[in-house]
Amino acid sequence: MAKRVVVTVISDLVTDQRVHKVCQTLHDNGYEIFLIGAKKRTSLPLAKRDYKARRITMLFQKKIFFYIEFNIRLFFKLLFTKGDIFLGNDLDAMAATFFAGRWRRKKIVYDTHEYYMAMAGLDNKVIRKKIWKSLESYIFPRIRYIYTISDSFCDLYRNDYHKELRTVRNVPYLNPLKVETKDEVEKLRIIDAMIPTNKHLLIFQGAGINPHRGVEELVLAMKYLDQDKYHLILVGSGDIFPIIEDMRERHHLENIITIIPKVPFQILRHITEQAHLGLSLDKGDNINHRYGLPNKIFDYLHAGLPVLVSRLVELEKIVNFYQVGTFVENHEPNHIATCIENAFKNPDSMKMWKENTVKARNELNWENESKIVLEIFKQVEAETVN
């Protein structure tokens, strides 16, 4: 009989590619999946999926009250939800997932997408950080199966809790979802009309465009570039999205920067494929960024884009090993602009980097990475049977 996996995450599901890929993989391999997320007033419609997915409609929209409400309502939902294994995604969904799972004697798996204590949003939030740390310190030693997105995060958690984690990188499918519905086609038509076709197109994307991502400096860097030659596409959402929009207006950069709010991932892939250079500019002053592995780097490579990235631990490994791009050495806007110009001034390098994305794509894909997820759940399933 198929094992039922209840998957929890605080996101609104629409743009969360990692959670969808894990759920789809388990579904395709005989598991019954029930995914639970959150729904805000700004959430996009949730498209039909092969597995069951539901969202809790939230009353509170702000962070602390949002987290509290979600976990309380999720806890009671999990008490009465049929399931054999509970899979929680990130610490902000684990309070409800862990305690409901322990109460009902379920096996618990934890997918931590980041090194949570180093999140930029916790900077200078002493009390809030202590609460999250107390929760993490309690649950981490009590969960056997935990995996994360990079080898560096495994090392950090090993130092903290003396536990061995598995690495499951958040890489795309080799054959991604296509845009199919009439609404998606119409949305793409509108977006395509916003993007110039006669310029060097730069793209910066992300569902968490927050402080320390280097986006403010990137916007200012566009002042140093020829508006007739370059154009930046910013796609996503995050805490500083309103700040970026204001900066674009204040610095009169409307003609050189297109801002697109978050979109479903099949539409995002289409937008990414229009660009010529992918940007990831996280700052190393944040541990979570220094040792993280941004999803966008793989999205760029799968779309055939060379990359310009910060010189951070995991990013350096990827870019140097596959020879798919180059680095910024600091976050001065004029330096970023110079690095962009230099990349396009050397067409031979750009051609080589673009060709090398094929090898990266053929090795760094979900078809390969999903095997690790299945190994983990087969172990959990065997333990559940015994």
Domains 4-171+366-385 and 182-363 share a fold: yes
pLDDT at 234: 95
Instruction: Kindly state the helix (H) or strand (E) to which residue 85 belongs, with its residue range.
Output: strand 85-89
- 8 Å CB contact between 32 and 61: no
Distance CA 256, CA 13 (A): 31
pLDDT bucket at 79, cuts 50 / 70 / 90: very high
CATH tag, 4-171+366-385: 3.40.50.2000
pLDDT digits (tens, 9 = 90+) for 132-163: 999 999 999 999 999 999 999 999 999 999 99
Over 60: is that where the pLDDT of 386 sits?
A: no
| The pLDDT value given to residue 185 | 78
Q: What are phi and psi of 330, to 5 degrees?
A: -155, 180
Q: H-helix or E-strand containing 73?
A: helix 63-79
Q: Lowest mean pLDDT of 218-222, 242-246, 261-265, 357-361, name the range.
A: 261-265
**How much is the pLDDT for 56?**
96
Confidence of residue 382 (pLDDT cuts 50, 70, 90): confident
Position 385 pLDDT exceeds 60: no
Does residue 121 carry a pLDDT above 80?
no
Q: What is the pLDDT of residue 298?
A: 96
Mean pLDDT over each residue of the chain, to the nearest integer: 92
pLDDT of residue 122: 73
CB atoms near residue 291 (< 10 Å) = 22
User: What's the whole-number mean pLDDT along residues 58-66?
Assistant: 88
Q: Which of 284, 285, 277, 356 is nearest to 313 (CA)?
A: 284
Task: Work out the average pLDDT over 197-224.
Answer: 92
**230 vs 333: CA distance, rounded Å:** 15
pTM, two decimals, is 0.88
Instruction: Label residue 384 by pLDDT band (50, 70, 90).
Output: low
177, pLDDT greater than 70: no
Any idea which of 12-21, 68-77, 354-363 has the lowest mean pLDDT?
12-21
Residue 227, pLDDT > 90, answer: yes
Residue 25 neighbours by CB under 8 Å, 6+ apart? 366, 370, 373, 374
Q: Binning pLDDT at 50, 70 and 90, where does residue 180 land?
A: low
Of the two residues 262 and 342, the one the predictor is more confident about is: 342
Average pLDDT of span 216-243: 93
53's enclosing H/E stretch is strand 52-57
- Kindly report the CATH number that applies to the domain delimited by 182-363: 3.40.50.2000
- What number is the average pLDDT over the span 372-379? 96
pLDDT of residue 108: 97
CA 77 to centroid of chain Cα atoms: 26
Q: Are 226 and 340 in contact (CB under 8 A)?
A: no
Which residue has tokens 């970023």? 336
Q: Distance (Å, rounded) from C-alpha 297 to C-alpha 113?
A: 15
Of residues 10 and 383, more confidently modeled: 10
Residue 277 DSSP SS3: strand
Domain assignments of the chain as residue spans, ordered by start: 4-171+366-385, 182-363
- Helices marked H in 234-346: 241-250, 265-274, 287-290, 295-302, 313-322, 333-345
Which residue, 40, 31, 52, is CA-closest to 109? Answer: 31
- Asked if residues 259 and 222 have their Cβ atoms less than 8 Å apart, the reply is no
Contact 35, 16 (CB under 8 A): no
Q: Tell me which amino acid residue 354 is.
A: K
Question: Confidence band (pLDDT; 50, 70, 90) for 265?
Answer: confident
pLDDT in tens, 303-328: 999 999 999 999 999 999 999 999 99
